[in-house]
Structure 1
Amino acid sequence: MEAPADTADAATGRTYTVQAGDSLWKIAEAMYGSGARYTAIFEANRDILDDPDRIHPGQELKIPDLED
């Protein structure tokens, strides 16, 4: 997966617009270097996601900063 071009740093943090073929695992790999951190993205987006395996192109996801 290429580095996402549609992330934005704003006062509320980064966002990512889901593309066809994306999964939370792939997005986490691109953003954090580890797909296993997909749960951080899922938890930050519980208001729009019910299932981490069901994301859809066009959804705008919040990408939280991770605390080490």
Structure 2
Amino acid sequence: MLSVDQSEPEATFYTVVAGDNLSKIAKQHYDNANKYPLIFEANKPMLTHPDKIYPGQVLRIPPE
């Protein structure tokens, strides 16, 4: 029997720019703005509130 490596898809990273918010970033990466909690949860404890992101921050974007 063959064994297949079922590794998880890797996260990508995104650098926040002026005017960004987690919903906008989720829309770009997942085509669904309502998935912003995935990004928020993946970036705790750096992020303390979904509305508090700043230009220059590098966020981990987990696979769906």
**TM-score for both structures, normalised by structure 1:** 0.78
* CA root-mean-square deviation: 1.3
Query: How many angstroms does 1:51 deviate by?
Result: 0.3
In structure 2, the partner of 1:52 is: 50
Q: How many residues end up aligned between the 2 structures?
A: 56
- Report the structure number with the largest CA radius of gyration: 2
**TM-score for both structures, normalised by structure 2:** 0.83
Q: Which has the higher contact order (CA 8 A, sep 6+)?
A: 2
Gap runs ≥5 in structure 2 = 1-8
Which deviations, in whole Å up to 9, do the C-alpha atoms of 1:27-58 show, x marking residues without a partner? 00000000000000000001210000010000
Gap runs ≥5 in structure 1 = 1-10
After the TM superposition, list the runs of 4 or more consecutive aligned residues in structure 1 that deviate by more than 2 angstroms.
Answer: none
CA distance in 1: counterparts of 2:51 and 2:58, whole angstroms? 15
Percent identity, aligned pairs only, is: 48
